[in-house]
Amino acid sequence: MFREHIVLQFDCTNTLNDQILENVSIDMEMFDGFRQLLQVQCDQLVYNTPRSIYVVLGIDSCSLDDDIESSGMDISQLFGTFTGVTLKYLVKDCDPNTSQVLDDEGYQDEYALEDVDILISDYMQKLIVPDFHTSWEESGEENQVDETYALSNFKTLDEAIKNLVNFMDMNVCDRSDRVPDGKNAHTVFLSGLFRGQVQVLIRAKLAQSTDGITMKITVRSSSMAISEYIASAIV
């Protein structure tokens, strides 16, 4: 992930010992705000030998000199799902023992892959802060956003915290992802850099009751737009 580009890596393995795949490429539908700039295809995929295909995407909704707040950028344009992801290739039959090609012409074929999601975690870098509480106070309340969620999909605090950390992919401060035994309430502190330029701090207060788990998440950053989007992105 770069400021103006995303590089997708598709790792491929041919599991059929009687076929060789040639001119292997990726086709997919772009969503608004992205365009394909370059694709490094795989010229040949032989049995049980992993190869990779790289797709370079440009982000239209921003430029290197953009300031997120002053540009009025719609942060939601940075996220979405690439659908119709398909592996395309030329199939040639071969000798399973020697891999010698038996059919020079071959035939075109394709294989449907899963959709590719671009999420908050893809733009986030873990950031180690010496003292979370000092950084929290220094960041101030100017761009603070609070949201409260009922986490009905999780049965324990540990499970809910693990999901939050994985979703945000931010640094856990003060080992706050560890819930003391017997506690039914806990607070998690996270720090990160969004797109390599905006420091984001999160304080998440979780409480467990007979009705389930409730989480109040508070986000602080130098951009109100980013704070709002991150705070509202929990699903």
* Boundaries of every domain in the chain: 5-118, 122-232
| Confidence grade of residue 235 (pLDDT, cut at 50, 70, 90) | low
d(CA 124, CA 167): 10
Average model confidence (pLDDT) across the chain: 91
- In angstroms, rounded to a whole number, what is the distance separating the alpha carbons of residues 52 and 58? 20
DSSP conformation class of 101: B
pLDDT over 90 (residue 170): yes
Q: What is the pLDDT of residue 195?
A: 86
Pick the CATH number of 5-118 from 1.10.3720.10, 3.90.730.10, 3.30.420.40, 2.60.40.1480: 2.60.40.1480
pLDDT above 90: percentage of residues in the chain: 80
Using a cut of 0.85, tell me whether the model's pTM lies above it: no
Residue 140: how many other CB atoms lie within 10 Å: 10
Q: How far apart are CA 53 and CA 146, in angstroms?
A: 41
Q: What is the pLDDT of residue 59?
A: 86
Q: What are phi and psi of 91, to 5 degrees?
A: -95, 130
Alpha-carbon gap, residue 213 to 131, rounded angstroms: 28
Q: What's the pLDDT score for residue 150?
A: 93
SS3 category, 125: strand
What single string gives the DSSP state of each residue in 29-53?
E--TTEEEEEEE-EEEE-BT--EEE
Per-residue pLDDT band at 153 (split at 50, 70, 90)? confident
Structure confidence at residue 209 as a pLDDT band (50, 70, 90): confident
pLDDT in tens, 100-145: 999 889 999 999 999 999 999 999 999 999 999 999 999 999 999 9
pLDDT at 71: 55
pLDDT in tens, 45-92: 999 999 999 999 998 765 434 455 555 567 888 888 999 999 999 999
The CATH label, of 3.40.50.300, 3.30.310.10, 3.30.310.50, 3.40.190.10, for the domain at 122-232 is 3.30.310.10
pLDDT of residue 109: 97
